Structure 1
C-alpha cells in the first residue's frame, strides 16, 4: 500500500472526538525528535512517514493518528520546536533585554528548532504551508519580543522612538541566521575553542550585542 505523504490524501479526521486511551506525550515527543533527525539526514524531499515512525519506534498507524500527512508532521514539528524563546524578563536596561533576546535566539537556533529551520529554508520557498508556519513559529515570536524590548527602551528614554519597533527582529534574525547558517566558519571563529567555552551561538550573541545597540541609537554600558 502506498504511503500517505501528501496533505490531500485521505487520513483520519483530527476534528473527531478522541476515542480510547489518551495520547502519549512521550510518544509524540519521540516522533517529533525523529522528524528532525530524518530531515537532517534526508531533507524534506527524502523524508517519509515510514522512516520517521521507524526511527521513533512506533507504527505508521500511530503516527497517522497524530498527523494526517508528511506535511502536517513537519508543520507540527516546526511549531513544537521553533517557537520557544523562553520568558521575556524586564532587566531594566536595553542592553540587558537585548542580551537576553540574543541568548534565547542563539539557543533556539542551535537546538532542534534551528536544525529544522536550516533544513526547511529552501523548501519553504516553494511550499506555502511550510513558509507560513516557519514565519509564525520562528519570525513572529522574535518580532513580538523585539518590539517589547524596543518599547521598554523608548519608555525609559534609552533610545529615541523608532518608526517600526519590529525592525530590531529583522536585525536579530538576519544577523544570527547569516552568521550561524550561511557563514558557519565565522561562527566557529567567534567561539573560543576550549571545552568549557560557550557555544558558537552564545559567542555570536555576545559579539553582535554592541553593534545592535549602536544600530538602535544606544551605546553599550
Structure 2
C-alpha cells in the first residue's frame, strides 16, 4: 500500500460528501458565511466534525466545494434550437440563482469574497466563467444556424447577463413579492428582448 493510499484509508462515501455539501449550503443560507461553523454543518448532515475534517481541512475549502457543486447544477447548458430559446433559458437560470434561498447563499459568498481572495477566485470560476462560456456557446450556435452574424468580442457577452441580473436582484431594493421564482422569471423575460438585440438577433418580441 502506498503512503497516499494509507492516508486516504477507506474510499470516500459520495452520499455523505453530498450531504455535507448540502448542509453547508443550508447553513450558509441561514447564517451567512460569518455565522457558518463546521460544527453546525456536521450536525446538520448528521456526522461528526472529525468526518468533515477528513474531507475538508477548513471551513473555506468546504464552502468553496459547496459553491462549486451548487453552481454546476445552475449553469448546465441547454440547446433549445433557437437563439431566443437559449437566451431565455440562460436568463431564467440566472434569475433563479439570484433569488430565494439560492440568492441568499450567493449574497453571503459574494460578501465574504470581497475580503477573501481564494473564495473570490472560486466564485469567479464557479459562477462567472460558466456564464461567459455558455453565452459564447449560445452565440456560436446562433451563428451556425444563420440567425446572427459572428459576434466580435463574444467573450464579453456573458457580462450582459451577469451585470443586469446583479443590478436588478442584488443592488436594487425590491419588495418580497418581486424576488420569488415567478417574478424572477418575469424579470428574465423582460430582459430577453434587449439581450437578443445586443447579439444581433431579431426574436419574436
TM category, shorter: 0.7 to 0.9
Q: Distance in 2 between matches of 1:142 and 1:55?
A: 31
Q: What's 1:136 paired with?
A: 125
Shift of 1:184: 5.4
Contact 2:20–2:52 (8 Å) recurs in 1: yes
Q: What's 1:42 paired with?
A: 31
Shift of 1:35: 1.3
What is the DSSP-based 3-state SS (H/G/I as helix, E as strand, rest coil) of the residue aligned with 1:185? coil
Q: Structure 2: 5+ residue runs without aligned partners?
A: none
Shift of 1:113: 5.0
Q: What's 2:162 paired with?
A: 173
Contact 2:28–2:105 (8 Å) recurs in 1: yes
Q: 1:139 to 1:127 in 2, by over 3 A?
A: same
Q: Distance in 1 between matches of 2:176 and 2:142?
A: 28
1:74 to 63, 66, 86: 63
Q: Distance in 2 between matches of 1:136 and 1:168?
A: 16
Write out aligned runs for 1:125-204 (5 A).
125-183=114-172, 185=174, 188-189=177-178, 199-204=182-187
Of the two structures, which has the highest relative contact order with CA contacts closer than 8 Å and spacing of 6 or more?
2
Q: Distance in 2 between matches of 1:183 and 1:66?
A: 39
The number of aligned residues is 199
Q: 1:106 to 1:142 in 2, by over 3 A?
A: same
Q: 1:36 to 1:184 in 2, by over 3 A?
A: farther
More helix by share: 2
What is the DSSP-based 3-state SS (H/G/I as helix, E as strand, rest coil) of the residue aligned with 1:16? helix
2:4 to 16, 29, 53: 16
Q: Alignment RMSD, CA only?
A: 2.4
Q: Structure 1: 5+ residue runs without aligned partners?
A: 1-14, 192-197
| Higher mean C-alpha displacement, 203-212 vs 174-183 | 174-183
Q: Does 1:122 align with 2:114?
A: no
What is the DSSP-based 3-state SS (H/G/I as helix, E as strand, rest coil) of the residue aligned with 1:174? helix
Q: 1:200 to 1:94 in 2, by over 3 A?
A: same
1:100 to 51, 74, 89: 89
What is the DSSP-based 3-state SS (H/G/I as helix, E as strand, rest coil) of the residue aligned with 1:68? coil
